[in-house]
């Protein structure tokens, strides 16, 4: 008989615990818009090779980690076409392996140690943070839009430690439109 009373008490207590966890504390409201289409990335922009000349490791060692200079930068472009009405801005998100020491620097399959790349908006020279949409550039609906960027060599550490070797840094991109 005591076991039945104990079982009933446990059921009542569990029921009270569950109802207390279901209290209303606030609400979430998600809104947005779905467009009929987006811009198309031109075939010539789906794979963009950028080749660097030969640079002495000492030219990198004089720089701040994550910094670059005009002499260490190369331009590249991404061409968009067929942008629908209502879109006026394109942003880029860059994905790839980043340095554990300097998070804004992409690294990859390079044999040159402590060497990486930074990518920036060509108009402002502002570095685009990896894995975040940035580098907003204006686009014109219906026109061919060329988005210009710079990729620069940099070092990944504060020490003068760049070591000669090859540079091979794969980076993928995703476009976002507003």
User: What is the rounded distance in angstroms from the CA atom of residue 94 to the CA atom of residue 166?
Assistant: 22
Position 120 pLDDT exceeds 50? yes
Q: Dmax of the chain from CA atoms? A: 89
Q: pLDDT digit string (tens) for 122-172? A: 999 999 999 999 999 999 999 999 999 999 999 998 877 677 888 999 999
Three-state DSSP at 135 gives strand
Question: Which tokens is 117 given?
Answer: 């790349």
Give yes or no for a contact between 147 and 176, defined as CB atoms under 8 angstroms apart.
no
Task: Write out the two tokens for 131.
Answer: 């894995």
Across the chain, where does the E strand assignment appear? 40-41, 73-81, 89-95, 115-121, 133-138, 145-155, 172-177
pTM above 0.85, yes or no: no
Question: pLDDT, tens digit, for every residue of 33-90?
Answer: 565 578 999 999 999 999 988 888 888 888 899 999 999 999 999 999 999 999 999 9
């Amino acid at each position: 008989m005591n076991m039945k009373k104990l079982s009933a008490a446990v059921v009542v207590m569990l029921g009270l615990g569950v109802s207390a966890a279901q209290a209303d504390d606030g609400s979430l409201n998600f809104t947005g818009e779905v467009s009929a289409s987006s811009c198309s990335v031109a075939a010539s922009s789906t794979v963009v090779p950028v080749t660097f000349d030969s640079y002495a490791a000492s030219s990198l060692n004089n720089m701040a980690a994550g910094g670059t200079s005009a002499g260490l930068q190369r331009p590249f472009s991404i061409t968009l076409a067929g942008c629908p009405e209502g879109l006026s801005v394109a942003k880029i998100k860059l994905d790839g392996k980043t340095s554990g020491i300097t998070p804004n620097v992409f690294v990859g399959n390079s044999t040159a140690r402590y060497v990486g790349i930074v990518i920036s908006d060509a108009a402002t020279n502002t570095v685009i943070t990896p894995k975040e949409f940035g580098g907003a550039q204006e686009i014109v609906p219906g026109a061919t839009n060329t988005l210009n960027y710079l990729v620069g060599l940099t070092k990944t550490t504060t020490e003068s430690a760049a070591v000669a070797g090859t540079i091979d840094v794969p980076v993928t991109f995703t476009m976002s439109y507003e």
